[in-house]
Chains A and B, each alone.
Chain A
Amino acid sequence: MKYILMMNTMRAGAGVPAWPKADLQAHIAFMLNLNRDLRDSGELVQAEGLSFPDQARQVRAGKDGVPITDGVFPESKEFLAGFWIVDVDSPDRAYAIAARISAAPGPGGAPLNMPIEVRPIMSAPPPEML
């Protein structure tokens, strides 16, 4: 069964994390190891990191097919930082993976305990069938 695991980031303009270098490296290494393990177990379908929210655009339909691209996001908006799609044998396994992501180390090596949203997904039908 497939799940999407979503990790949010700080708001736009809050800047990049200002942690000590060793802590940053530990965080990066943690994520690399996680992905490697998920690949080895055959559970990883897709893992993506998104660019910083500074680059985000809110787009609405405009007139005559020209999109409006300067929309302003709400102050309180949380931005998606990255997501994983996993194919696992049970919901508990999906939660366990999410828990591991959540516990990624932050400043001082302490687990961040980020909230990771876990949602079941069905495979989207192939485009030919739409």
Chain B
Amino acid sequence: MKYILLMSSTKAGVSGYRTWAQSDRDTHMQTLGAIVKGLVETGEFVATQPLAEPTEAKVVRGENNGLPVTDGVFPEAKEFLLGYWIVDVDSPERAYAIAGRISAAPGPGGIPTNMPIEVRRFA
């Protein structure tokens, strides 16, 4: 069964991340990297994609005279997608367990960030 695991944040959240000590950021990234490596080894990994903060994001709404109507403004408080993991697992519980591990990735001082990870099954 294929699931997508979504991690989101706000501009404030990302600014907060930028104040972490470099070593804490490195540890956080290494933990996530190790999780992905583990998923390749268990044969569950499908894809992962980090997304940068949406300074380059555009929201497109329909067409006007054949041209896209774009709006680059991203409201301060709006949640945006930071990245996702796609896994192919044998049960929903396995998807939740993987999401739980991502959520437990350490932040400043080695304390788990406890970020909420949205788990969605593919249609």
Contact = CB atoms under 8 A, between A and B. Distances in A.
Contact-residue size bin, chain A (C-beta under 8 Å from the other chain): 35 or more
A55 interface: yes
Nearest to A5: B60
Contacts of B33: 130
Interface stretch (A22-30, A34-42, A96-104): A96-104
A32 interface: no
Contact of A127 (B37, B49, B61, B120): B37
Interface in B40-56: 40, 45, 47-52, 54, 56
Contacts of A55: 120-121
Contact of B68 (A56, A69, A99, A119): A99
Contacts, number: 152
B79 interface: yes
Interface in A102-130: 102-103, 111, 113-121, 124, 127-128, 130
Given A113-B61, A116-B59, A119-B54, A51 B100 contact: no
B89 to A, nearest CB: 13
Given A113-B61, A116-B59, A127-B37, A56 B103 contact: no
Given A98-B60, A103-B62, A117-B60, 14 more contacts: A46-B47, A51-B121, A59-B117, A77-B79, A79-B120, A80-B4, A99-B69, A117-B58, A118-B59, A118-B70, A119-B81, A128-B37, A130-B32, A130-B37
16 contacts: A4-B49, A46-B47, A50-B122, A53-B120, A59-B118, A65-B104, A67-B99, A68-B100, A71-B116, A77-B79, A98-B68, A102-B68, A103-B62, A118-B58, A118-B59, A118-B60
4 A-B pairs closest in CB distance: A67-B100, A61-B104, A99-B68, A130-B33
Interface of B: 4-6, 32-34, 36-37, 39-40, 45, 47-52, 54, 56-63, 67-70, 79-81, 92, 96-97, 99-101, 103-104, 112, 114-123
